[in-house]
Structure 1
């Protein structure tokens, strides 16, 4: 019994970004004495929402993760702003290192998440709604409004949540056609048709 308790506590310890032993992580080569408030400031969201997405189909994602905002290193948080054109889809994907908390600022979104038993949970969100996507679970968002764009803000429990997009991961990363055909109980010609038009991740 003690072994089971020990193993379960190890899983809890490593369930998020590792803890740091300092107040924050100073980038290599920088003197902490020379840091200013600029280090803790991200300005990449200033023009978000001012874009006209008319005629576009792709969701525009602006991220503030450790790569773009080094002050987040070791802090276990990050954010993204998602701009959905009319009919815009954020295709099925997962975040292997973090749960996602999505706040819908404007518009409407149909969201869905699939648990490990294969059950799909869907909800239509309106402005002001909040939806959580548990870590590692497959999920998507779709702007079903025929006239208006949607704007959402996502918070993540990791400085680098990662994104694994199902369509592009399956069909543009070099998995052999015969493996995909057998997996989907189809033929390689159908797989080639599915690959057409997809971009590499």
Structure 2
């Protein structure tokens, strides 16, 4: 009897710990100060330095929305550190289309200009806000959201912080219309016809070289 009680207690403890871990999961914890890539044997201060954010300021202003990322892919020192950034540029009337980050919340800081932002929760409720210079807005983890520069004359810039070294980005338009899902399935899902789906897909096709 005592053995059964102990077994059940241990089982419940394991389940509780597993549930807690899943519900609080983000980037995995590391057991060292930092992670050295396999192709490097030693590191110095340059390994912990990222200069990629200079790039947007060394070229002409983009004609369409542009993002410069500092995530694990571009900055390997972030591996295991549960943080990353993105620098966002919005020409007049440009949009960062609806998208989501499956592995992190996003904290957006408007550096210059203004933005119309919004996200949709799991009950399909839309939350919107107009942000001005130095305003901040948080997009909860995994929820679809967007940013739009409604100003017809002035550009806007923003900086986004993520609680993951690899937050991931899933673009809603591209994921739905540019990944090969059967056009008949899409037409049925959106209660329209195949020619309409084909027009939407054509608009998302990359420009020919």
- Do they superpose with TM above 0.5? yes
Any residues of structure 2 matched to 1:113-152 within 5 Å, and which?
Answer: 113-152=119-158
The residue number in structure 1 matching 2:20 is 9
| 1:49–1:83 contact (8 Å) kept in structure 2 | no
Deviation at 1:49, TM superposition (A): 4.3
How many residues in Structure 1 have an aligned counterpart in Structure 2? 195
Q: What is the distance in 1 between the residues matched to 2:81 and 2:17?
A: 26
Equivalent position of 2:104 in the other structure: 98
- Per the alignment, in what secondary structure is the counterpart of residue 144 of structure 1? coil
User: 1:50 Cα deviation (Å)?
Assistant: 5.4
Q: Does 1:19 align with 2:62?
A: no
Task: State the 4+ residue runs in structure 1 displaced beyond 6 angstroms.
Answer: none
TM-score (norm 1): 0.91
* Most deviating of 191-200 and 22-31: 191-200
User: Alpha-carbon deviations, 1:130-173, whole Å to 9, x = none?
Assistant: 00001100000000111100000000111111100000110010
2:45 to 37, 53, 57: 37
Segments of structure 2 that go 5 or more residues without pairing to the other structure are 1-8
Q: Distance in 1 between matches of 2:108 and 2:58?
A: 20
- Taking structure 2 as the reference length, the TM-score comes to 0.88
Task: Report the Cα distance in structure 1 between the residues aligned to 2:136 and 2:174, rounded to whole angstroms.
Answer: 27
Q: Give the distance between the partners of 1:115 and 1:48, measured in 2 at CA.
A: 32
Higher normalized helix content (fraction of residues): 2
Cα RMSD after superposing both structures: 1.7
> 2-side partners of 1:49 and 1:82: how far apart?
12
From the CA coordinates, give the structure whose radius of gyration is larger: 2
Structure 1, unaligned stretches of length 5 or more? Answer: none
**What is the Cα deviation at residue 28 of structure 1?**
0.3
Q: Could you give the per-residue CA deviations for residues 93-116 of structure 1, whole angstroms, max 9, x where no partner exists?
A: 000011000000000000000000
